[in-house]
Amino acid sequence: MTEFLQQTVSGLTTGLVYAALALAIALIFQGTGTLNFAQGEFATLAAFVAFALSTAGLSWWLVVPVLVVVAFVFGAGVERLLVRPVENSGPLALLTVTAALLLGTNAVTALIWGTDVRSMPSPFGDSVFHVGALTFTAQALGGGALVLVTMLVCGAVFRFTPLGLRLRAVADNPDSARLLGISTGLMLAVGWGIAAAVGAIAGLVAAPTLGLSPELMTNALLLALAATTLGGFSSRLGAVVGGLLVGVLSNLASRYVPGIGGDLQLVVPFAIIFLVLLVRPQGLFGRASTVRA
């Protein structure tokens, strides 16, 4: 039982990373109408930037806000410069651009920092806590809290601020938003910026556990895509819940289902994508009408 609980808890903490990445993917899907294949690579790049900032002597208290700002500017810039030209060219061209971004970002990261796996110190220290029979590392607790706060802030921006209302309006009905004086182009860029910032926190939190390398988020991308599929691409909350579920499910499966362990954990998200699309393509929280063709 303790074992089961421990596995569930650690599934939840890794699930938070997938949840944040899934949230980023859902944000871009809702605004721009495409999957962003490069979301994981953006997060990896952000983790390297955080690593570089911290090795340069910046305290973690500063690294996090600087990272968020840098990632936001990066995401918004990518939208303006590289996505905008094909904005009206249909889903195929958009998706192909994100494939190019995946290839390009991965290459740039590898060229700058090399392909070796580095160990990145945890911003939260190495202490370990015991609650009852359960064990928590400071990294898991602190990282989990950071991701959680990030997602809550992001959710609050969307739910309660005028900016969030405008962003949702553009996602819901861009033509009508334009008639109300909302610049859809600006909102799409802001959406990419927010997505990149949320993903950056996911990368930062994942790196100390998984080891920093250009492949940091390659698997996480698949898990996050499964999370978004499960929760529904049209729902921010769904993406987050989907991320937690995927984290727990793949952790439990690798522990209790014979044959599924190590790398093969990835079969779980793959199966989730496959089954959800077959059974309920709009996902758990999605509205059928908003699934884009």
Binding site for another protein (CB under 8 A): 34-35, 37, 82, 85-86, 88-93, 95-97, 99-104, 106-108, 110-111, 162, 165-166, 168-169, 171-173, 175-184, 218-219, 221-222, 225-226, 229, 234, 263-264, 266-267, 269-270, 273-275, 277-278, 281, 287, 289-293
Closer to another protein by CB, 63 or 223: give it.
223
In angstroms, what is the minimal distance from the CB of 117 to another protein? Answer: 16
Closer to another protein by CB, 100 or 149: give it.
100
Contacts of 132 (CB under 8 A, 6+ apart): none
Closer to another protein by CB, 6 or 96: give it.
96
C-alpha distances (whole Å) from 246 to each of 81, 109, 124 are 34, 27, 25
Closer to another protein by CB, 202 or 221: give it.
221
In angstroms, what is the minimal distance from the CB of 277 to another protein? Answer: 4
Angstrom distance (rounded) from CA 100 to CA 116: 23
Amino acid letter, residue 78:
V
In angstroms, what is the minimal distance from the CB of 191 to another protein? Answer: 15
In angstroms, what is the minimal distance from the CB of 36 to another protein? Answer: 11
Contacts of 86 (CB under 8 A, 6+ apart): 93, 94, 97
Angstrom distance (rounded) from CA 91 to CA 68: 28
Closer to another protein by CB, 83 or 200: give it.
83
DSSP per-residue string spanning 113-174:
H-SS-B----TT-S-EEEETTEEEEHHHHHHHHHHHHHHHHHHHHHHHSHHHHHHHHHHH-H
Angstrom distance (rounded) from CA 32 to CA 93: 12
In angstroms, what is the minimal distance from the CB of 116 to another protein? Answer: 12
Can you tell me whether residue 212 is helix, strand or coil?
strand
Closer to another protein by CB, 22 or 64: give it.
22
Instruction: Please choose, from the candidates 221, 195, 209, the residue with its C-alpha nearest in 3D space to the C-alpha of residue 142.
Output: 209
In angstroms, what is the minimal distance from the CB of 137 to another protein? Answer: 27
